[in-house]
Amino acid sequence: MELNIYTPKGKENGKQAKLNDAVFSIEPNDHAIYLDVKQIQANARQGTHKVKERGENSGSTKKIKRQKGTGGARSGSIKNPTYGNGRTFGPRPRDYSLKLNKKLKTLARKSALSYKTKGNQITIIESFSFDTPKTKECTAMLKNLKLDDKRTLLIMDKSDSNILLASRNLQNIMVTQATQLNTVDILNADHLLLSEGSIPLIENLLLN
| Number of domains composing the chain | 1
On whether residue 55 sits in a domain, the answer given is no
81 inside domain: no
Q: Is the pLDDT of residue 98 over 90?
A: yes
Closest to 57 (Cα-Cα) out of 82, 28, 29: 82
The per-residue pLDDT for 86 is 85
Range of the domain at 154: 2-30+100-207
Determine contact, residues 162/129, Cβ cutoff 8 Å. Answer: yes
Question: Could you tell me the pTM of the whole model?
Answer: 0.83
Cα–Cα dist 193/60, whole Å: 65
Per residue in 166-202, pLDDT (tens digit) is 999 999 999 999 999 999 999 999 999 999 999 999 9
CB atoms closer than 10 angstroms to residue 95: 10
CATH number where 132 lies: 3.40.1370.10
Q: Report, in this order, helix, strand and coil percent for the chain, each rounded to 5.
A: 35, 15, 50
Average pLDDT on 100-116 reads 96
pLDDT, tens only, 129-162: 898 899 999 999 999 999 989 999 999 999 999 9
- Inform me whether the pLDDT recorded for 100 exceeds 90: yes
Inside any domain, residue 82: no
Q: Is residue 78 part of a domain?
A: no
The end-to-end CA distance of the chain, in Å, is 20
pLDDT at residue 1 greater than cutoff 90: no
Query: Is 66 inside a domain boundary?
Result: no
**Would you call 72 exposed, middle or buried from its count of C-beta atoms within 10 A (0-12, 13-18, 19+)?**
exposed
